[in-house]
Structure 1
Amino acid sequence: MTHVPHQLSAEFPDKAEKIAQMEQSNAHFAKLSNEYDEVNRTVHRAETNVAPMDELAESEVRRKRAALKDEIYGMLTKEA
């Protein structure tokens, strides 16, 4: 498969190390990260017509990806 855009490390390059660390130390963060990756791959497959979906369904998964990204960003920037 080709490079999938919007991966967390590409979205937050300055937080790549913290993402890796939190994926190992925080089960909730790891779950969110895995869910984000799954939803992101779904969006990518729809955009590249590998697994096309109707406009409404694609819009919904894009919204889900944005919500997960917002939650993940909140966890990454939360003061210790």
Structure 2
Amino acid sequence: MTHVPHELAEEFPDSKDRIHELTQSDAHFAKLSEEYHSVNRQIHRIETNVAPADEGFEKQLRRQRLSLKDQISTYL
């Protein structure tokens, strides 16, 4: 398995325990986290040409990932 950049643990290295705790205890945070991981995996697949996509779609995914990251950051 390849390394997928931008995982939450890398984005918020000082909050690994908090991320785990919130994922287990807060349904909304868990949903945000799962959506972030899903979008991040899609972007990684596009970047590595496993699932090529047009530039507009990739930009849309990047904006979505940034929005999710902002929402997660607010929680933390």
Give the counterpart letter for 2:56 in structure 1.
L
Corresponding residue number in structure 2 for 1:7 = 7
Gaps of 5+ in 1: none
SS in 1 for 2:5: coil
**1:1-80 → structure 2 map (5 Å cutoff):** 1-76=1-76
TM-score, normalised to structure 2, is 0.98
Q: What is the Cα deviation at residue 29 of structure 1?
A: 0.1
Gaps of 5+ in 2: none
Moved over 6 A (4+): none
SS in 1 for 2:66: helix
SS in 2 for 1:74: helix
Give the counterpart letter for 1:2 in structure 2.
T
